[in-house]
Amino acid sequence: MKNFLPYLKTLAFFEGLRDAEILGLAERFPRRRLADGEVLYEVGDPAGSAFVVVRGQIEVLSEGGQRISVAAAGDVVGLHELFRDEPRNLTTRAIGETGLFEIDRAVFAEACEARQPLDVVLVDRVAHFLAVKLRQMDGILEEVDPHVHAPVAVHAPKVDALEFKSHDRSADKVAPRPVKKRRWWQRKRTADDELQDRITELADKAGLTEIDSVKVRYGSEQPLHNNPSSMIRRG
Amino acid sequence: MVMSQEVDIRGARVFSGLTPDDFDALAQAGRRESYRPGETVFSGNLRAQSFFVIADGGVEVYRREIDGSQTVLARLGRGAAFGEAALLDGRPRKALGIAKGTTTCWVLDAGGLARLRAEQPVAATHLLANLARGMAYRLNRASTQATRVVDGRRTDSFSHGSSGVRRSLLDRLFGR
């Protein structure tokens, strides 16, 4: 697993963690591999695990079969279902060959009891990702329907008592999002990076070495530390 | 937990299931803050990475509109907890919180959480698990609404926006 550390460090799920913590978590997660088009879970399945997308992509489908989104490497699917007992209300399916870490529901429940040193790390990452997604949802609800405001409190004793007032819709203007420029090696992994991974994969199949595969990508040798994902070998 | 200056919020729902040892650890990690009537409790970067539990009094949460007016989003009373997403993701707040009457809160900021994680990992895990459970509940509700929109089923509270807008927004929600 140590060979994968540079790559794992590029994934958002492991952002900010120490090397030992990343390795500890990665070794603890069962690994799943899906072929292109293979269903991870579907609507009606019993509530179960969440999954960290390590490689490839997972498309998220609604109950009606509409594609809602695509989760790229570093993202997590099924996160909020770690806590609920109802059957799944989404279907997820692999796009291309996909590798996943599984956050098992029962294992996570045990982690919440904090019996092992790494438990706090796992629970912290899950809480952190929930916070990020919740903040995104707050913004989305406001943009989709300015008359609706996401509740700001989780543990208000009387949630029903929260007031949600409408306001003059004409006053709503979505401010342009600031564009944060990053150099290419500073970027978070995106769907575009998956294309580069595909090139590496083909290079592997063709029997090229790691350095060769970097050349294939960029035309000349690049320092490996600038692009840790290039060090990942397939298989 | 009897905090310094007699702040007692052990009955708050966010602390359900915590042990006496956990409360002792939380008492060390957090602090008591009091606000005068009308005083700003949080705003933008003010206490941006802080989590609050109201021990006494109340907080009104507003959204600032473009025209300068303010819309009430929520009125929170004793035992209510808020700010967990800000505590964990560290982004500035868009809402504004104003104390209604003399208000006392237990406050945990990012530094306190980091200390708690390092020195009292068991208490930190129990608290984080409770925060995560609450956020998962809210996220699940919102996700259900969002998927209904995609399938063309109108809901009372999530029924506007063109399909293109919905799609791009939902891409952001589900982690594109």
Q: Is the ipTM, as predicted for this complex, more than 0.90? A: no
Q: Which of residues 153-182 of A touch B (CB under 8 A)?
A: 153-157, 161-165, 167-168, 171-173
Max Cα distance, chain A (Å): 64
3-state secondary structure B94-148: CEEEEEEEEEEEEEEEHHHHHHHHHHCHHHHHHHHHHHHHHHHHHHHHHHHHHHH
Pairing, β A50-61 against β A67-71: antiparallel
A117 within domain boundaries: yes
Q: Residue A189 has what pLDDT?
A: 61
d(CA A94, CA B12): 42
B176 band by pLDDT with thresholds 50, 70 and 90: very low
Average pLDDT over residues B129-157: 76
Mean pLDDT of A31-37: 94
* Residue A13 or residue B71, greater confidence: A13
Residues of chain A with C-beta less than 8 angstroms from the C-beta of B87: 131
A71 inside 8 A of chain B by CB: yes
Among the residue ranges A97-106, A171-180, B78-87, the one predicted with the least confidence is: A171-180
Mean pLDDT score, A139-144: 58
Say whether pLDDT at B41 is over 90.
yes
* Listed residue (B41, B42, B59, B54) closest to B8, CA to CA: B54
Most confident of A36-40, A61-65, A200-204, B26-30: A36-40
Residue A127: its pLDDT value, please? Answer: 94
For residue B163, pLDDT over 80 is answered with no
How do strand B81-82 and strand B50-64 relate by DSSP bridges?
Answer: antiparallel
- Domain final residue pick, A149, A181, A199: A149
Cβ neighbourhood burial of B68 (10 Å; 0-12, 13-18, 19+): exposed
Distance of residue B100 Cα from the nearest chain A Cα, in angstroms? 15
Q: Compute the mean pLDDT over every residue in chain A, rounded to the nearest whole number.
A: 73
Per-residue pLDDT band for B89 (boundaries 50, 70, 90) equals: confident
- The pLDDT value given to residue A155: 41
pLDDT at A214 over 80: no
Q: What is the number of CB-based contacts under 8 A between chain A and chain B?
A: 229
Considering its fold, how many domains does chain A have in total? 2
Asked if the Cβ–Cβ distance from A154 to B131 is below 8 Å, we say: yes
When pLDDT is cut at 50, 70 and 90, the band that residue B2 belongs to is very low
- Residue scoring higher pLDDT (B147 or A94): A94
Q: Which residues contact A47 (CB under 8 A, 6 or more apart)?
A: A81, A84, A85, A86, A87, A88, A105
Question: Which of A90, A122, A149 delimits the end of a domain?
Answer: A149
Same domain? For A112 and A227 the reply is no
Mean of pLDDT over chain B? 81
Is the residue at A171 inside a domain? no
A116 touches B at CB < 8 Å: no
Locate the chain B residue with the closest alpha carbon to A91. Answer: B147
How far apart are the C-alpha atoms of B98 and B75, rounded to whole Å?
10
What total of structural domains would you count in chain B? 1
Mean local confidence (pLDDT), A54-61: 92
Interface test with B, best of A68, A77, A128, A174 (most B CBs within 10 A): A68
Share of chain A above pLDDT 70, in %: 57
- Buried/exposed A175-196: b ≥16 CB within 10 Å, e otherwise: eeeeeeeeeeeeeebeeebbeb
Among A60, A120, A13, which residue's Cα sits nearest to residue B115? A120
Hey, which residues 43-62 in chain B have their CB within 8 Å of chain A? Answer: 53, 61
Mean pLDDT calculated for residue range B104-128 = 94
Q: Which of B41-50, B86-95, B146-155 has the lowest mean pLDDT?
A: B146-155
The 10 Å Cβ neighbour count of residue A68 is 24
Q: Distance (Å) from the C-alpha of residue B25 to the closest C-alpha of chain A?
A: 14
Q: Which two tokens stand for residue B48?
A: 């941006």
Residue with tokens 């063709």: A206
Are A71 and B174 in contact (CB < 8 Å)? yes
**A11 is in which domain, residue-wise?**
2-149
In which band, very low, low, confident or very high, does the pLDDT at B144 lie, cut at 50, 70 and 90? confident
A110 with A211, same domain: the answer is: no
Domain boundary among A118, A149, A180: A149
Residues of A in contact with B79 (CB under 8 A): 155, 157
Contacts with A154 from chain B: Cβ below 8 Å? 14, 81-82, 84, 131, 134-135, 137-138
B173 or A33: which leads in pLDDT? A33
pLDDT at B92: 78
Residue A75 inside a domain? The answer is yes
- Average pLDDT on A43-49 reads 90
Give the pairing type, strands B50-64 and B40-43. unpaired
Q: A149 contacts in B (CB within 8 Å)? A: 63, 71, 73
pLDDT greater at residue B164 or residue B144: B144
Sign of CA dihedral A116, A15, B173, A90: negative
Q: Which of A120, A148, A149 to mutate to test the interface with B (most CBs of B within 10 A)?
A: A120
Note whether residue B98 is domain-resident. Answer: yes
CATH number at residue A13: 2.60.120.10
Q: Are residues A212 and A110 in the same domain?
A: no
Examine the domain organization and report whether A58 and A118 are in the same domain: yes
Q: H helices of chain A, where?
A: 5-8, 19-28, 105-111, 119-144, 191-205, 210-218
Residue B79: domain span? 4-146
B residues 17-46 closer than 8 Å to A (CB): none
